[in-house]
Amino acid sequence: MRSTNIKNDLLKDIKVAVDKIIATDTQAMSTLNLTAALRHKILDILVSYSKDIPHPASGMAEHSGLSNTLIRWQVLAYVASIDLTIVKWFESHLDALSILNEIGYGKVAKGLWAVWAAEGHPDPLRYEQGKAIGHKAWCSGAGMVDYALVNYRNSNNQSQLMIIDMHQAGIEINNSEWQAVGMQATDTATVKFCGVSASLVGKENAYLDRAGFWHGAAGVAACWYGASACLASYLTTAYQQKPNDYKAMYLGEIGTALAITQQYLYYAADLIDTEPSLCHELAIRQLRAQIEKVARHTVEIVGQALGAAPFCRNAHFARLSADLPVFIRQSHGAFDLQKIGELTNLLHSNSTHGQANVWQL
């Protein structure tokens, strides 16, 4: 079993910087009830560390010998434990930088980036003579992002990436449809591009075909895990303050699930860093499915153990509990399990070790 006592100096520095920001707000210090202004201050600090946060699949850190992918996930999990809105913005920013790095784009402008890749709007985004025209839905941070890395379907119906400077005239942001309670503060909107300048980057299907697509998907799951672990810590504290049998039972149930999932995160990070050219789709789909299940279970079990009080009187607990069920719907539920089944069957069929059962020890 991998030890949980792992030294991550970058994470330590980020924690110190974030704690200093929170310490300036008396209310936030006592309740972790974040104002919009404080969220943006924390985000600005995090973005300032962007160049120090390793890309996924970038090997082992020189000084610590840690997996660089794990270092990245630890940062994301920590930010998620503070606030899922902030980590939603920050993960998208880091993902954009990693995508551009992977496809060999070196002219990355300073500022806040986002990846907006949802499809399905009836007036889809198009690229005509250097201009972006049409709509993009599900754009988190739409009103605050400096640069958007977006995809569209070209004339060959292939996915193509382009960069759009969001400080242009001709961009309309409509968040009237965003009625969420959980993740309400993410500033998620449908954006209309009315013939604004855009730059194509990468080859056709570079976004979907690169190995990093799945490496990035695992990073989102690390955010889910970070929030789940934080909610579980409230149960640990409650048991330490007032121990009883039923709290111990719930703590044992959740602690086991989180510990197993933690080990799988360590395994997946090592897998990505030791075989960076492979996408590891099956392993990462399984990781996401496991963390989604643990997240749902944690919200339910911790709530049963602690009752209504923290939902009603603890701003941080209440916010995480409301946000997490919405965030994990970035998973695709039954469709993901279907794909895991298909890939597992393929693994059985292609087994080269003479094993009839790939789960055999």
**How far is Cα 145 from Cα 358, in angstroms, rounded to an integer?**
45
| Buried-state track 190-213, b at ≥16 Cβ within 10 A, e below 16 | bbbbeebebeebbeeebbeebbbb
- What's the 3-state SS for 118-167? CCCCCCECEEECCEEEEEEEEECCCCCCCEEEEEEECCCCCEEEEEEECC
Mean pLDDT of 24-29: 76
Residue type, 58: S
Mean pLDDT of 151-179: 96
Pair 286, 358: CB distance under 8 Å: no
> At 238, is the secondary structure helix, strand, or coil?
helix
- Rounded to an integer, what is the distance from CA 268 to the centroid of its chain? 15
Mean pLDDT of 244-259: 97
Q: Tell which residue, 264, 257, 316, has the closest CA to residue 285.
A: 264
4 has pLDDT over 60: no
3 has pLDDT over 60: no
Which architecture characterizes domain 208-348 according to CATH? Up-down Bundle (1.20)
**How far is Cα 266 from Cα 225, in angstroms, rounded to an integer?**
12
**Contacts of the segment 280-283: beta carbons below 8 A, 24+ positions apart:** 280/211, 280/214, 280/215, 281/214, 281/343, 282/340, 282/343, 282/344, 282/347
Residue 333 or residue 310, greater confidence: 310
**How far is Cα 172 from Cα 199, in angstroms, rounded to an integer?**
19
Domain 113-204 sits in which CATH superfamily?
A: Butyryl-CoA Dehydrogenase, subunit A, domain 2 (2.40.110.10)
* The pLDDT value given to residue 172: 98
* The pLDDT value given to residue 358: 81
Q: What percent of the chain has pLDDT over 90?
A: 88
Write the DSSP symbol of residue 355: -
5 confidence band (pLDDT: 50, 70, 90): low
- What's the 3-state SS for 182-230? CCHHHCCEEEEEEEEECEEECCCCHHHHCCHHHHHHHHHHHHHHHHHHH
Mean pLDDT of 271-281: 97
**What are the residues whose beta carbons fall under 8 Å from the beta carbon of 301, sequence distance 6 or more?**
235, 250, 253, 254
Mean pLDDT of 63-90: 95
Ordered by start, the domain boundaries in the chain are 9-102, 113-204, 208-348
pLDDT in tens, 80-93: 999 999 999 999 99
Residue 32 or residue 102, greater confidence: 102
What are the distances in angstroms from CA 70 to CA 65, 83, 271? 11, 20, 10
Q: Mean pLDDT, the chain, as a whole number?
A: 94
pLDDT in tens, 189-233: 999 999 999 999 999 999 999 999 999 999 999 999 999 999 999
* The pLDDT value given to residue 25: 81
* The pLDDT value given to residue 353: 61
62 has pLDDT over 90: no
**How far is Cα 259 from Cα 232, in angstroms, rounded to an integer?**
11
Residue type, 140: S
64 confidence band (pLDDT: 50, 70, 90): confident
